[in-house]
Amino acid sequence: MFLGFDEGTPHIPRVQSWGKPRLTPHPPEPGWGPHPGSPCSPSVPAAVGKSTFLKLLGATFPRWHLVTEPVAQWRKVPAGGTAQAAVGSANLLQMMYQEPARWSYTFQTFSCISRLKAMLEPPDEGPPETPHPVRVFERSVFSDRYVFAKNLFEAGHLQPLEWAIYQDWHDFLLRHLGPRATLHGFLYLRARPQTCLERLRRRARSEEGGIQLGYLQQLHAQHEHWLVDKTTEIHFADARSAPVLVLDVDKDFEHDVAVQGVLMAQVEAFVTSLSADTLPSHPNPLRAGEGAASP
Ligand SMILES: Nc1ncnc2c1ncn2[C@@H]1O[C@H](COP(=O)(O)OP(=O)(O)O)[C@@H](O)[C@H]1O
Ligand SMILES: Nc1nc2c(ncn2[C@H]2C[C@H](O)[C@@H](COP(=O)(O)O)O2)c(=O)[nH]1
């Protein structure tokens, strides 16, 4: 997940999501993803519990703007020149899992662009007295590149030429978007690959029936290299230096109010520290009545 503060909206931080979620704040700088007032995003392997976690964030911090992953778009891409998704649509997620060597590059272009669109979309206008103080993205353009695309390349599903082209346009777009594509912090929802596999089986999404533990282990390792060991080469200074909050979600937080309280308090403290570090003149984005549930 990525966290950020909303760009252009004073007093709004942003965050990104994980493996799949992220956070960012948006004022002079963009991104919860990468910057204060820009977004943040959670980063997580598949089926770690991002969506469940985002719902909890939404219930605890109702004024935060949460941006979910556009997985529905990937399952129904308008195809054959028709704009009617119901007639003539392609399930790109399924195609990528069934024939990764053929469809991985196409998938990564579509997923990355759909993530960028979500990031650049201004948050819904609320009443002026209740601006969104924080934006959280379920996953980001950084997970797209430094987890999924990198992993597909290393697994041999992206050809060296495809990987080079992907990185070229990814660099170009992010450099030109500058602060608009920045995230202020990352939430890393960490669980054992075996736990993710159990949750993935429980979710039972038809396209994911063939996913094996080995694939989730690869995604887990990519997250660890990027966010914990810091051995992945990150080509953007803001993303490289953005703070990371590692949250242990291996335990069942879905049905445990005490664990939920602890997690929400950790996120609240992290976002507060982001605002202080990255937005010196930025008022505390967490206002009365918006605190996390007590542990
Ligand atoms: N902490 C948790 N403990 C137990 N089950 C969970 C937890 N988080 C999610 N789940 C369950 O695991 C499945 C996948 O969760 P979901 O939030 O959809 O994952 P993601 O969005 O990361 O793919 C769902 O059935 C959900 O109810
Ligand atoms: N090859 C890629 N697959 C991706 C990417 N982002 C997400 N995904 C897959 C993983 C899941 O099967 C599904 C939705 O994710 P959940 O987080 O809900 O488990 O999409 C990507 O960039 N590349």
Q: Which atom of ligand 1 is nearest to the CA of 18?
A: 22
The preferred substitution site among 48, 52, 53 for testing ligand 1, maximizing ligand atoms within 8 Å of CB, is 52
Q: Which atom of ligand 1 is nearest to the CA of 55?
A: 17
Minimum mean pLDDT among 15-19, 100-104, 143-147: which range?
15-19
Q: Which of 29, 138, 162, 268 is catalytic?
A: 138
- One-letter identity of residue 7: E
Residue ranges lining ligand 2, Cβ < 6 Å:
20, 46-47, 50, 71, 93, 96, 107-108, 111, 144, 148, 152, 208
- Residue 102: CB atoms within 10 Å: 12
* CA 101 / ligand 2 centre spacing (Å): 16
**Cβ(187)–Cβ(41) under 8 Å?**
yes
- Which residues are within 8 A (CB) of 273 and not within 5 positions of it... i.e. 6 or more apart? 243
121 catalytic residue (yes or no): no
- Which residues are within 8 A (CB) of 257 and not within 5 positions of it... i.e. 6 or more apart? 293
Q: Report strand pairing: 186-190 vs 40-43.
A: parallel
**The tokens 């992206």 sit on which residue?**
158
Residue percentage of the chain with pLDDT more than 90: 67
Q: Report strand pairing: 89-90 vs 77-78.
A: antiparallel
Q: Identify the nearest ligand to the CA of 204 by its number.
A: 1
**Cβ(49)–Cβ(30) under 8 Å?**
no
Q: Residue 88: pLDDT band by 50, 70, 90 thresholds?
A: confident
**Cβ(23)–Cβ(40) under 8 Å?**
yes
The pLDDT score that the predictor gives to residue 124 is 72
Check if 51 has its Cβ closer than 6 Å to any atom of ligand 1: yes
The pLDDT score that the predictor gives to residue 247 is 97
* 223 has a pLDDT exceeding 90: yes
What are the distances in angstroms from CA 96 to CA 23, 91, 152, 254, 278? Answer: 27, 9, 11, 30, 38
What are the distances in angstroms from CA 4 to CA 77, 94, 120, 170, 210? Answer: 28, 31, 12, 20, 34
- Which range of 71-80, 170-179, 280-289 scores highest in mean pLDDT? It is 170-179
* 129 has a pLDDT exceeding 80: no
Looking at per-residue pLDDT, the higher value among 247 and 39 belongs to: 247
> What are the two backbone dihedrals, phi and then psi, of residue 3, each rounded to the nearest 5 degrees?
-115, 140
CA nearest ligand 1 atom 15, residue: 49
Residue 43's DSSP bridge partners are 188
Q: Which atom of ligand 2 is nearest to the CA of 138?
A: 17
* CA 51 / ligand 1 centre spacing (Å): 7
* CA 19 / ligand 1 centre spacing (Å): 13
H-type helices in 178-284, by residue range? Answer: 193-203, 213-223, 237-241, 257-278
Looking at per-residue pLDDT, the higher value among 23 and 74 belongs to: 74
ipTM of the complex model: 0.97
| Burial of 157: CB neighbours in 10 Å, binned 0-12, 13-18, 19+ | buried
Dist CA 286 CA 284 (whole Å):
5
Write out pLDDT tens, residues 244-268.
999 999 999 999 999 999 999 999 9
- One-letter identity of residue 6: D
